[in-house]
Chain A
Amino acid sequence: MGDLYDSQRAMRQMRKAAMQRGVVAILDVGTSKIACLVLRFDGPEQFRSDGVGSLAGQSQFRVIGAATTRSRGVRFGEVDAMQETERAIRTAVQAAQKMANVRVDHVIACLSGARPRSYGLDGTLNVAGGMVTEQDISQVMASCDVPDYGADREVLHAQPVNFALDHRSGLADPRGQIGNELKTDMHMLTVDATAIQNIFYCIKRCDLELAGIASSAYVSGMSSLVEDEQELGAACIDLGGGSTGISVFMKKHMIYADSVRMGGEHVTSDISMGLQIPMATAERIKTFYGGVMATGMDDREMIEIGGDTGDWEHDRRTVSRAELIGIMRPRVEEILEEVRERLDAAGFEHLPSQQIVLTGGGSQIPGLDGLASKILGQQVRLGRPLRVQGLPQAAIGPAFSSAVGLTLFAANPQDEWWDFEIPADRYPARSLKRAVKWFKDNW
């Protein structure tokens, strides 16, 4: 895992450098759109003088540039055609830079696909009645048994979720406490290495440096779940264009993440195939007239679906809204069923609170909350991302929850495995650092 340490540490260093410079870009590479936000960091709490932090400490940065463009070359949240994706990223970044009027060099990206897989790890360390030190914490994390997740996969997140000292569990920070046996639970998320490499390459081709990468499901959970939901347990369903991300939060930590490789574009393609219309028209009809709950009124509401063939009969076709709903609903149901399955597999029903928050562009379908509550359980709400300073009106909808979440991730990231001290036995044998450490420990 040395490799992972290195690359993630390098990214963390770069993030720090970007924060020092004060400007960092956020890039949400989605299937249907690519959003780019430019953040300016002004140091902690510059906008308030009374010492009370506004917006839960989110005001230390400000969005100074925002741009979104139609995504090209991305399928199921993964880069499919490199050149196209690169061009799309370039478009978004250029427009955001132009709005911000600064040059950005560092970018924090998130990706929604790449088949994420969650692992729960635990490790134990005997501290023999001593005080728990930072070194012990890194030791206990290093003692976690890492499952064989496959050579072609890479760890995206590895967060210590819980520490336990002897019989006391749920410790957030066991440093300085005295006990015998230190245990930890970790959540590790792995994704396909090729997907990360591809996105890394695309960003590099745009002369940008990747200063961090996150799972889209995780960051949209961060932005759209309110604090008590994150504390008590909740699932965030991010209905995206090509994939649907699921993240389960508990005690302010992500404990599970997954993604369903279906999303809004599948609904659009169903409409396109069902009504024999081009994708663009299908998308327009979906966003204007779409829904999942048909009523008697919908039978009478006729939608012109048009056409360009020159055949009058063909070009004057209409369809009732009920028919449209009849096409959309099975696909939405299928997505939600799939989500239900994943949540069941993750043991979501054992959580104390089973709040489900729907977000992402797909969550704007009228009547979706009613349908979702039938499939996923009673506690369903539609979530919108947190408000951050300077975000334009056009970018505050649920479609931007992962972009907004990524800003929060950039501003205050959670501690990951690689942020802790490297355990002593992992230092190279002849390292000077090791010698210094030996002196520090023994004198």
Chain B
Amino acid sequence: MRSLIRRPVADAAPRDPAPSRLGYRYQRLMLTPGFRSTVRIGVPIILILSIVGSWYSKPENRAEFAATIKDTKQTFQQRPQFMVQTLNLTGGDLTVMTEVAALLPSEFPVSSFDLDLEKIRADIEALDPIKSASVRVGQAGALEVRLNPRVPVALWRDGATLRLIDAEGTESGQINARADRLELPLIAGDGAEDNIDEALHLFAAAGPLIERVRGLVRMGERRWDMVLDRDQRILLPADGAVAALDRVIALNDAQDMLNRDVAVVDMRNAARPTLRMNEEAADALRRVNTTTSNNGAGN
């Protein structure tokens, strides 16, 4: 008969809990440091890598991924904060500016990420008339290009062409006629552009002769000839050219030498300055000398 009250079953006494062999082994395995770190770090990494790898191995996914990245990048770069709106070009004259503007991006607005300022600067500086330039994206999205043009200090005649030369001897442009830049001294000859400093010194030292100076000619890539009007030449030595020129000027001041019929003043040998006169002058002098010697034969 079924009992009316609830009776505990014979073996309802709480069984002693004991881990199963499997559970026990599992716990011991998980307490093994190497295994545990493998499970906790290695397995998730492998899982993630395999998922990502399998997704990435399909070409359409790869393309989509690349497109997304490109899109995001573009969206970011095209934000108004990064856009360059205007061009601010300063320094230099009109021709130079026209040349420079050809190197700059023609269409604005353009993202500042697309501008390679270093390259633009290098390109601009590669131009002859530009000594240096600074290129930066300044206030209110303006591309500020500040040019520092070369200042020509002399003209260098090379055959028919007239080149503008700055103090470093670098060519900064060409002109058609001497009359365009009358204020610049003229130099000529091979290797003239390498000794522009000395030439400028000589021009500075010319002093009272400056009105008459036509130019300096480099002779044999070694020394200077100063050419004056009336085809007069002053041959200057390789060393101490300025001092030699000073001596010529002193002679000129004292004896009005250059106004006479002198063709060449040869100062190449400092111990023996030599004058060469024009032919008629020489003839005249010879005649005078003969007359004098006939008159005074007793000498």
Contact = CB atoms under 8 A, between A and B. Distances in A.
B13 A280 contact: yes
Contacts of A91: 16-19
Given A70-B16, A88-B16, A91-B16, A97 B28 contact: yes
Contact of B24 (A72, A101, A102, A206): A206
A101 B31 contact: yes
A87 B18 contact: yes
Contacts of B5: 310
A69 interface: yes
Which of A90, A93, A102, A280 gathers most chain B CB within 10 Å? Answer: A90
A103 B32 CA distance: 6
Interface string A189-220: 00000000000000000110000000000000
Nearest to B28: A103
Nearest to A205: B21
A363 B23 CA distance: 37
B272 interface: no
A48 interface: no
B94 to A, nearest CB: 83
A307 B17 CA distance: 25
B79 interface: no
A241 B158 CA distance: 122
B25 A207 contact: yes
Contact of A207 (B8, B19, B23, B28): B28
Nearest to A71: B16
Contacts of B28: 97, 103, 207
A70 B18 CA distance: 11
B15 to A, nearest CB: 10
B2 interface: no
A313 interface: no
Interface residues of A, number: 19
Given A103-B32, A206-B24, A90 B16 contact: no
A90 B24 contact: yes
Contacts of B3: 310
A72 B18 CA distance: 11
Contacts of A70: 16
A94 B27 contact: yes
Interface string B1-37: 0010101100001001111010111011001100000
A72 B21 CA distance: 16
A97 B17 contact: no
A310 B7 contact: yes
Interface string A46-90: 000000000000000000000001101000000000000001101
A360 to B, nearest CB: 22
A69 B16 contact: yes
Nearest to B6: A310
Contacts of A69: 16
Contact of A102 (B8, B18, B23, B31): B31
Nearest to B19: A94
Nearest to B35: A103
Contact of A88 (B8, B13, B18, B31): B18
Interface in B100-137: none
Contacts of B7: 308, 310
A310 B5 CA distance: 8
Contacts of A88: 16, 18
Nearest to A93: B24
A94 B24 contact: yes
Given A98-B27, A207-B28, A90 B18 contact: yes
B211 to A, nearest CB: 100
Nearest to A92: B18
Interface string A411-440: 000000000000000000000000000000
A304 B269 CA distance: 144
17 contacts: A72-B16, A87-B16, A88-B18, A90-B19, A90-B21, A90-B24, A91-B16, A91-B18, A93-B24, A94-B19, A94-B23, A97-B31, A98-B27, A102-B31, A103-B31, A207-B24, A207-B25
Given A72-B16, A97-B27, A310-B7, 6 more contacts: A90-B18, A90-B21, A91-B16, A94-B19, A94-B27, A103-B31
List 10 A-B pairs, minimum CB-CB distance, nearest first.
Answer: A103-B31, A87-B18, A91-B18, A90-B24, A94-B19, A310-B5, A103-B28, A103-B32, A94-B24, A90-B19
Interface of A: 69-70, 72, 87-88, 90-91, 93-94, 97-98, 101-103, 206-207, 280, 308, 310
